[in-house]
A and B are shown apart, each in its own frame.
Chain A
Amino acid sequence: MQPAPPAYKCSNCGRTTTYARLRCLNCRGETFEAAALPDTATLLTLTEIHQLPVGFDERFLRVGIVEFAGGARAMGWVTFEGAETGTQVEVRWEPIRDSDGEPVYGFAFYPEA
């Protein structure tokens, strides 16, 4: 079983981010509860990176930003060709790279089944 993707919902105003924060961007609230993200999202924008930073051996990487129903957004890897703005994708939270032998988890976007 893959772990669920992270989502932190502000207990005060409900704004949800996909990475941990100490303070809410909207209301400066400081308590958050775990939230569940939908399995799919809409691709807002994407790019194919051909000049990568040190530490990446890939020839290129596709990175995109998605929006979930409810408004939370996440950056992640677009794993397939032919995606464009508005494409519906399946969202997974999975090991995307290694750091000192430890897996680093991140968002990855797949074609919708």
Chain B
Amino acid sequence: MRDVAIIAAGQTKFARTEWPLIDLLVEGARTALADVEIDESIIQAVVVANMGAGILNHQSGVASAVVDGLGLFPAHAELVENGPASGASAVKMAFLGIAAGYYDVVLVIGGEKMRAVNGWESTDFVATLTHPFAEYIYGVTLPSMAGLFARLYMEKYGITPEHLAMVAIKNHNNAMFNPEAHVQQRITMEGILHRPEAVVNNPIVADPLRMFDCCPVSDGAAGLVLCAAERAGQFTDKPVLIAGVGQATDTHVVHEREDPTDLKAVTLASEQAFKMARVGPDQVDVAELHDAFTILEIAESEHAGFFPKGEGHKALERGETQIGGKLPINPSGGLKARGHPVGATGIAQLVEITKQLRGDAGQRQVKKAKTGFTLNFGGFGNNVLAFVLKKT
């Protein structure tokens, strides 16, 4: 297997956009292509990540349309739909093609135009990934799946609403230094939890989770150019190595898991990525985790191996996961504040780690970052991908 490197990375600003889906994806690709000097005719394939074009935008054949929008004929083109893990899955498919020696240079682009529909419809769109007869018929939403999980996890480990708010406050603070983030708003514990008006400013979405425990609904796109590591030096002096890739699946129906607080697929995917990269979680300098809900950042930080079970919220409390701490988590603002256009997210996480390892992250730069980690969480934990990236 050949080594594979990231030679370019970029994303659009995550927000609400008027752009049609394909233009949004093309713009995401352009931000990545603008990051490297490359003759675009050497791009052999375009892998596109998108979860909802059929439901949200009434469009199919998305990957072919993106190649057309970019004028990259006759490049190969495929769409990867893997729920909220579509982005990382698309990167994995591109990685495999290059590692196998079939391709040398591949463009990966992920995006979602979720604000094409109203809030009730986008909530329903995401809920379609739940089990149709055992879960969906009851009106469950992804925030409610997280609410069911959060109640158990918080009771088991003594996590309080204040701990959840600490995740939100940290990630909102980080996003203040990320011009591409959807939400740029400082929040305080007082304002979102303790003042009387908090019940209005931060209403219950699915108890115990409140609005500021949930990611926003965003439009946006993110892209990467992947290249055989042996050729990466032709294009950049700062290639970032994809050192480890892991993935694992779990039951569709969440309550079929023996212990519903155990995110087994997170553990397995992370272990696989670490093993392949020949590093341990203790060697990671910066991580982007899938904090679609604040509770998930805490739970994933434990299941990925950074902290023992039940200790993640204590590390958070000690400030270890802030920029400047022992293991900064979500310096980009995470899904919580950067936003979560589902097809883009897994790629945006890798864009952030690429910038961090190159030393290009501006005011949110994690000092001396050499090894980075990403975790993209699909379904409610039924399909999870992890990556380990290394500075070269």
Contacts and interface: CB of A to CB of B under 8 A. Distances in A.
Given A19-B133, A65-B255, A50 B152 contact: no
Contact of A63 (B139, B205, B260): B139
Interface in B153-174: 155
A53 B152 contact: no
B37 interface: no
Interface residues of B, number: 36
Interface string B203-218: 1111111000000000
B144 A63 contact: yes
Interface string A69-106: 00001111100000001000000000011000000101
A106 to B, nearest CB: 6
B365 to A, nearest CB: 36
B140 A49 contact: yes
18 contacts: A17-B253, A19-B134, A44-B260, A47-B147, A47-B148, A47-B209, A48-B147, A48-B207, A50-B204, A51-B206, A54-B124, A61-B138, A63-B148, A64-B148, A74-B255, A75-B134, A96-B137, A106-B138
B151 A47 contact: yes
A44 B138 contact: no
A97 B137 contact: yes
A19 B132 CA distance: 10
Interface of A: 17-20, 25, 44-56, 58, 61, 63-65, 73-77, 85, 96-97, 104, 106
Contact of B141 (A25, A46, A51, A85): A51
Given A55-B124, A63-B148, A48 B255 contact: no
Given A85-B152, A97-B137, A51 B124 contact: no
Contact of B255 (A20, A44, A51): A44
Given A47-B148, A85-B155, A53 B124 contact: yes
Nearest to B209: A47
> Which one of B121, B151, B155 has the greatest number of beta carbons of chain A within 10 Å?
B151
**9 A-B pairs with the lowest CB-CB distances in the bound complex, closest first:** A47-B147, A53-B124, A54-B120, A19-B134, A73-B255, A53-B123, A49-B144, A65-B255, A54-B124
A13 B138 CA distance: 29
Given A44-B255, A54-B123, A63-B139, A49 B147 contact: yes
A50 B205 CA distance: 5
A89 to B, nearest CB: 15
A9 to B, nearest CB: 15
Contacts of A52: 120, 123, 139, 141
A29 B351 CA distance: 44
B127 interface: yes
A97 B140 CA distance: 13
B251 interface: yes
B131 interface: yes
B151 A46 contact: yes
Contacts of B134: 17-19, 74-75
Given A19-B133, A47-B144, A104-B137, A53 B253 contact: no
Contacts of A58: 139
A75 B141 contact: no
Given A19-B131, A75-B135, A75-B140, A53 B148 contact: no
A44 to B, nearest CB: 7
Contacts of B144: 47, 49, 63
Contacts of A55: 124, 139
A94 to B, nearest CB: 13
Contact of B207 (A17, A25, A47): A47
A97 B136 CA distance: 12
B245 to A, nearest CB: 27
Nearest to A19: B134
A73 B155 CA distance: 20
A55 to B, nearest CB: 7
Contacts of B208: 47
Interface in B108-145: 118-121, 123-124, 127, 131, 133-135, 137-141, 143-144
B39 interface: no
Contacts of B131: 19
